[in-house]
Amino acid sequence: MARDYYATLGVPQDATPEQIKRAYRKLARELHPDVNPDDAAQERFAEVTTAYEVLSDPKKRQVVDLGGDPLGNGGGAGGGMGGDPFAGFGGLGDIMDAFFGGGGSGGGGRGPRSRVQPGSDALLRLELTLEECASGVNRDITVDTAVLCDVCDGGGSKAGSAPSTCDTCGGRGEVQSVQRSFLGQVMTSRPCPVCRGFGEVITDPCQQCSGDGRVRARRTITVKIPAGVGDGMRVRLAGEGEVGPGGGPAGDLFVEVEEQPHDRFTRDGADLHCNVELPMTAAALGTVLLLETLDGSHEEIAVEAGTQPGTEHVITGRGLPKLRSNGKVSGHGDLHIHLDVVVPTNLDDTQSEMLRDLAKLRGEEQPEPTVTANGNGRQGLFSRFRSFGHR
């Protein structure tokens, strides 16, 4: 069943383009996500925007008036098998256009195209620290986009004037020509070069926007970055992109996160990893480490005696928030602490002697290896190590 785009905007079927535009702007102000963040309101805002894009396009509106849906699949008032038999080919009119350049058999062309067009999306990159990605942040950003001309309100004409019908195409938006071929006379159509297919000409354009209905402006808006975002993620601001030609509905603004490297922590999804250097003596005797976490608080890490290099401690729930696709947080990741045992270098004589005494007590003393000419000699470090193993 075709959608009722008129009911969506709350206008009658014979509404003028200006009535349709006013109805859309009124609803858009009420339902815009920045004003009404409710999920149902956002869904309604999308429906209203779609309805406006359809009804502001004369060609699509004509399909609606004939009982079809220009955004559906063969939803026209066609015949056989309960739908349009030419749906897979874009409709009978498109087939005739492909062969005869504008509705063959003496029929009319596509008609003028709407001056009101939807705007493009915009993209802005925002650098954030790992701390900001973890906690979320509200950031004021400056964007330079096309906005609605406040002098002509998007119409493009100077105050007190209105567009006039194009004399070249008579308001049809296209001009036709007849060419002779071996098949006979073939009629072709092309967009009117004077009005560029709009069917009307702005004879007295607005001085501020030069008839485009929009101007470029720099503005500052506040973007709310949720907790748990990561590098490359995008935050969508509906309706904050480029305003379309003729004052058409604005596209969306996407803010892409560029996460900056951290000096202590690395990220793996919602988990955090960090390396902590541990003296050899502390690893052998055991100790307690005081670790500063990403949020500035401290965690005590109990290091058992005899801890080996590469030992990993995991603190559950001290990682980053787990951000779901709906923008809500569901739990936190973990913090992984990797212990790097540091072997001392540049020992003085006293320290070296103490280590030799310890090695003797443990039966691990290592004589200097000597190698004869034929390769025979006393055992070196690794062969002796295998003989007594770990103690």
What is the gyration radius of the CA atoms in the chain, in angstroms? Answer: 37
Q: Is 84 helix (H, G, I), strand (E, B) or coil?
A: coil
List all residues 6 or more positions away from 144 whose beta carbon is below 8 Å from its beta carbon. 216, 217, 218
Structure-token pair, residue 196: 């560029």
Within 10 A of 104 (CB to CB), how many other CB atoms are there? 16
Cα distances (Å, whole numbers) of residue 61 to 50, 178, 256, 259 = 12, 29, 36, 46
Structure-token pair, residue 123: 């993209």
- Residue 274 known to bind ligand: no
Q: Where are the beta strands (DSSP E) in the chain?
A: 122-128, 137-148, 164-165, 174-181, 184-191, 200-201, 214-225, 234-237, 253-259, 266-268, 271-279, 287-292, 298-303, 312-315, 321-323, 329-332, 335-342
Q: Is 65 helix (H, G, I), strand (E, B) or coil?
A: helix
- Residue 195 known to bind ligand: yes
Backbone region of residue 247 per phi and psi (left: phi > 0; alpha: psi in -120 to 50; beta: other values): left
Annotated binding site for Zn(2+): 149, 152, 166, 169, 192, 195, 206, 209
Annotated binding site: 149, 152, 166, 169, 192, 195, 206, 209
